[in-house]
Chains A and B, each alone.
Chain A
């Protein structure tokens, strides 16, 4: 069983994850699957538990119970360094006061591979530069972090994550602070990285366009999961998001295209 799963990677399997803060259940026994090599979008209104679930998966917080398997390995059994070689995170927004260069930032991705006193090898630098090429930032290697735009910074963080050579990419609303051009370009780059990806997203049309698989959360539970066409129905949008929308077909991608209606009476609820 374990041998087969090691040979044929199974992607991410989350089983019965619960997490509570001060006695309130934020994530309530969630089961979900992120297929190998695909992008899985995690949707849901604010407060539905998306970020909490991602943090539990990435072990940035410890869940009350539940297990997370990645390609057949129980992540709870890994040391933090080993985990960082299999799982890379890109946050909503990464900032630093330090005068680091783009290459410095990307090379941070090699941290879990190097012992305390080892310096970065040629191999590390080659991986970093390659990742920068992948995200179309090769010419920026020597630029200072502080001189980049928000979209460029997120691409560099993606390059850093790729340099970790992970089996799973965890993205927490990576396009939140980006304009539409940068949001599209970032998600296209994620798509081209061909990694098993679990991404919390706010924009439903972006999710429909880029995600192979969607999971919708509501009040800390899974409300629906499946392909964009299966999940993004007018009924679900009304139930979960409390909005009225028409679901059409995107003229280019053939994926669902949502058109939202203004709330009745121009007011909420």
Chain B
């Protein structure tokens, strides 16, 4: 599971494919175990990625993510250019020495309105998408490991819906619509929903994936109904829009101010999870196996599940309940780099951010000037993946 181990994996696979080419390997292992061996394209393609140093993979993806932000901000109405984005960005961040005209290429200053579109609308929306996508992917990865359920996802298990209900109740009860209050309500709702799913998803102490999903659907439906009921009961002029925001998510209302809590919680939660990465690896064969490897199973589980609920809560407070990101991304990442959490967690973060950024950009621009709810797009991508996982993983009933 270390870099070194990963390198060996890559090395052996490489020599294996050479052997396959010369036909030497046909005798022993492949002859008898042919049908059970992983299919050649996968064993050939993956280890080469694994062989790259883990730091390199994460760093490369992070650079890709930054480039994605710049490009995504450009797309859409108003024909903004990358150069304008760069000028505004360096200007507002007081990094004018990085501006292109400082390098001697010359650049015209964008008009105030265009600068505002970039700085007040496009950029915060892009960064919000990155933070929410990153957070949901990390939550999904942790939940899939701790519950040993490949279909775990904050949305499918009703956690996001619980967060929405909590947030809406706080707003309606008049505890204030400030982000701290809403986030706290969302956290409480997420935690309550999570505990309920764990209680109803188990049978004589054993969590089974299918039971969990069923419990999650029930809790999610209940919370969705409660959210709708509460909003329509209060019925302000934007009611239906609000219902849609809380039930399937949107990044349209993103502002810089809404980012702060989510970004801080994301960083703290990611550090906490990375600290437990080795312990998470030990969960591969279940709770008892982890305990017999020296892991304090109950402590790790509760610390990380509460962290997941907190992160889900603050993300939902910003973006509503966006589904399937937490389901899809961890599987994609494990497919790329294997199951070691020391690599899976940071890469889920980076790729989750990039994924939701692009999905939101599509949602925003595909039917310009109308906007698709971002949750609609994640569901269109997520449901086929869900079915694929269901078939491929032979999920324990």
Contacts and interface: CB of A to CB of B under 8 A. Distances in A.
Interface stretch (B302-310, B333-341, B361-369): B333-341
A81 interface: yes
Interface stretch (A5-13, A100-108, A209-217, A237-245): A100-108
Nearest to A79: B294
B174 to A, nearest CB: 43
B285 interface: yes
B293 interface: yes
B2 interface: yes
Contacts of A82: 294
A139 B28 CA distance: 11
Contacts of B13: 142
Contact of B295 (A100, A111, A141): A111
Interface residues of B, number: 42
B296 A80 contact: yes
Given A100-B284, A103-B5, A89 B292 contact: yes
A98 B334 contact: yes
B3 interface: yes
Given A91-B289, A103-B8, A85 B294 contact: yes
Contact of A125 (B5, B37, B296): B5
Contacts of B284: 96, 98, 100, 105, 108
A100 B339 contact: yes
A54 to B, nearest CB: 11
A8 B37 CA distance: 47
A83 interface: yes
B122 interface: no
Contact of A142 (B8, B282, B289): B8
Contacts of A84: 292-294
Interface in B276-299: 276-279, 281-282, 284-286, 288-289, 291-296
A118 B281 CA distance: 13
A96 B286 CA distance: 8
B291 A60 contact: yes
Contacts of A144: 38
Among A59, A91, A118, chain B packs the most CB atoms within 10 A around the CB of A91
Contacts of B296: 80
Interface in A74-127: 80-85, 87-89, 91, 94-101, 103-105, 107-109, 111-112, 114, 116-120, 122, 124-125
Contacts of B12: 141-142
B285 A96 contact: yes
Nearest to B47: A142
B285 A125 contact: no
A199 interface: no
Interface in A131-160: 139, 141-144, 147
A141 B276 CA distance: 25
Interface string B11-23: 0110010000000
A80 B2 contact: no
B4 interface: yes
Given A60-B291, A91-B289, A107 B339 contact: no
A85 B291 CA distance: 12
A99 B334 contact: yes
B1 interface: yes
Contacts of B293: 84, 108-109, 111-112, 164
Given A98-B339, A104-B339, A60 B292 contact: yes
A17 interface: no
Interface in B32-56: 33, 36-38
B393 interface: yes
B115 to A, nearest CB: 43
B275 interface: yes
A80 B38 contact: no
B148 interface: yes
Nearest to A128: B5
B4 A125 contact: yes
Interface string B265-278: 00000000001111
A14 interface: no
A258 interface: no
B37 A147 contact: yes
B323 interface: no
A230 B9 CA distance: 50
A58 interface: yes
A147 B282 contact: no
A97 B295 contact: no
Interface string B372-397: 00000000000000000000010100
Contacts of A120: 1-2, 4-5
A118 B274 CA distance: 12
B339 to A, nearest CB: 4
Interface of A: 58-60, 80-85, 87-89, 91, 94-101, 103-105, 107-109, 111-112, 114, 116-120, 122, 124-125, 139, 141-144, 147, 164
Given A60-B291, A108-B284, A120-B1, 12 more contacts: A89-B292, A98-B284, A100-B339, A101-B5, A104-B5, A111-B294, A116-B276, A116-B277, A125-B2, A139-B29, A142-B9, A164-B293
6 contacts: A85-B294, A101-B9, A105-B284, A107-B5, A111-B294, A125-B5
A-B residue pairs, 8 tightest by C-beta = A84-B294, A112-B294, A120-B2, A81-B294, A89-B292, A98-B339, A111-B293, A119-B2
